[in-house]
Amino acid sequence: MEYHIKDINLAQKGIKRIQWAGNFMKVLRAISSENKDKLKGIRIAACLHVTTETANLIIALKNAGAEIRLCASNPLSTQDDVAAALVKYYDVEVFAIRNEDRNTYYEHIHKCLEFKPHITLDDGADLTTYAHSNNMIYNIIGGTEETTTGVIRFRAMEKEGSLKYPIIAVNDSKTKHLFDNRYGTGQSTIDGVLRATNLLLAGKTVVVCGYGYCGKGVAMRARGMGSKVIITEVDPIKALEAFYDGFEVMPIKEAIKKADLIITVTGNKNVVDKDAILNAKDGLILANSGHFDVEINKNALYELSESYEEIRENVIQFNLKDGRRIFLLGDGRLINLASAEGHPAEVMDMSFSNQFYSVLYILENKDRLENKVYTLPYEIDEKIARMKLKVLGIEIDSLTPEQENYLRSWREGT
């Protein structure tokens, strides 16, 4: 068995935490039990955040017969105890070490592809793009993508004609983005900021850049903590939504003058750029919860500073040449995983149930899928929602035959 992790002795701590998360992932467990042996002989390479929730997905796939290699989808999100427990107690080949450098990160991706998987699971598209750029597609028949940023990259590849196998965009499922992106990112981002800073959010002005589902979640939770929340957007419809949800909306160059804390969740680069930083108040805290560490222009921070130092875990203080201080959290990487534990298991249950069904979907439809980006059929989404409601003990109504008829007809009017 091959693996590269920090310390196998962390396994005992890891397994307890994995089991704790498992208590909140009952839909995934049920799907795995219903599909015993369906994945026999299937090799899966997964490039995901190595967390307790991901461990439960890996175990669910393994229980259905798959052989798996796992590497990290971000150098700073790996939980080393989880990696150790997966190796020691579940015989999973893991290649991930928290804080690994860029070379090691890509060596680990390489290891996962050397395994010649049939299916890839991605979060941010690094595994799949590496396979494409390094001629390592071998036996791959299809892949999945977890997050908005990755789906954007895959759609660009499809458009360009360079995608060499089909991808299921897990993020497109309603039972993924409506819950994981909104409630998961919302809560875990605030959690990450608080663990890094122990800041009192009440009374602070918090600027949230981006009002997609992640931004909506962060804004909602910051408001709930008593912050005054300002939204910045480039999309006029999302900007209007933010306004009518009761938030102030303005350009970043204005918002930064008022901000005590800025959280970026746009999926784009240099959203907090040099010209905006020039307007910042002394003591501004900057955090990012988007997938890549490109949203805050870190180079500009270094250029504008005469010195910098890590003053707490996950907090770098930049001393600007004009005397102001700016604090950067988690090195600009996704703060919810760098400084907290990522989304809670209860939402990841639905996201990873979509991952599981995507793997089955690829296998069942491999002969008709083209090299395109696909969304899972709505019936699967609905099935996951019904299973989650059942776990939660929530019953809902169903349409009467009369109502079904009414919805199908056009004769009845005023």
Helix, strand, coil distribution of the chain in percent, nearest 5:
50, 15, 35
Residue 192 touches ligand ADE, criterion: CB under 6 A: no
Residue 49 touches ligand ADE, criterion: CB under 6 A: yes
Q: Tokens 């009414």 appear where?
A: 406
Nearest-approach distance from CB 289 to ligand ADE, in angstroms? 9
Cα separation, 120 vs 70, in Å, equals 10
Largest Cα span, the chain = 74
Nearest-approach distance from CB 55 to ligand ADE, in angstroms? 9
Comparing CA positions, the residue from 342, 331, 332 lying closest to residue 263 is 332
Nearest-approach distance from CB 130 to ligand ADE, in angstroms? 19
Nearest-approach distance from CB 184 to ligand ADE, in angstroms? 6
| Contacting residue, 211, 267, 342, 373, with ligand ADE by CB under 6 A | 342
Q: 50 with 92: CB under 8 angstroms?
A: no
What distances in angstroms separate CA 67 from CA 6, 38, 62, 382, one per listed residue?
A: 22, 12, 6, 29
Nearer to ligand ADE, 53 or 331 (CB): 53
Nearer to ligand ADE, 73 or 297 (CB): 73
Residue 348 touches ligand ADE, criterion: CB under 6 A: yes
Coil, strand, or helix at residue 39? coil
Coil, strand, or helix at residue 345? helix
Cα separation, 90 vs 83, in Å, equals 10
The residues, ordered by sequence, that sit 6+ positions from 16 with a Cβ below 8 Å of its Cβ are: none
Nearest residue to the partner ligand ADE, using Cβ:
342
Nearest-approach distance from CB 28 to ligand ADE, in angstroms? 12
Q: Of the ranges 43-51, 62-70, 354-362, 403-411, which one interacts with ligand ADE (CB under 6 A)?
A: 43-51
Q: Of the ranges 148-156, 238-246, 342-350, 356-364, which one interacts with ligand ADE (CB under 6 A)?
A: 342-350
Angle between helices 126-133 and 102-114 (to 10 degrees): 70
| Contacting residue, 32, 35, 54, 264, with ligand ADE by CB under 6 A | 54
Nearer to ligand ADE, 117 or 342 (CB): 342
| Contacting residue, 53, 80, 122, 331, with ligand ADE by CB under 6 A | 53
Residue 186 touches ligand ADE, criterion: CB under 6 A: no
* β pairing state of 248-249 and 228-232: parallel
Residue 33 has phi, psi (to 5 degrees) of -65, -35
Nearer to ligand ADE, 45 or 48 (CB): 48
Count CB-CB contacts under 10 A for residue 124. Answer: 23
Cα separation, 332 vs 290, in Å, equals 9
Q: Of the ranges 44-52, 79-87, 224-232, 323-331, which one interacts with ligand ADE (CB under 6 A)?
A: 44-52
Nearest-approach distance from CB 347 to ligand ADE, in angstroms? 8
Residue 343 touches ligand ADE, criterion: CB under 6 A: yes
Binding site for ligand ADE (CB under 6 A): 48-49, 51, 53-54, 184, 342-343, 348
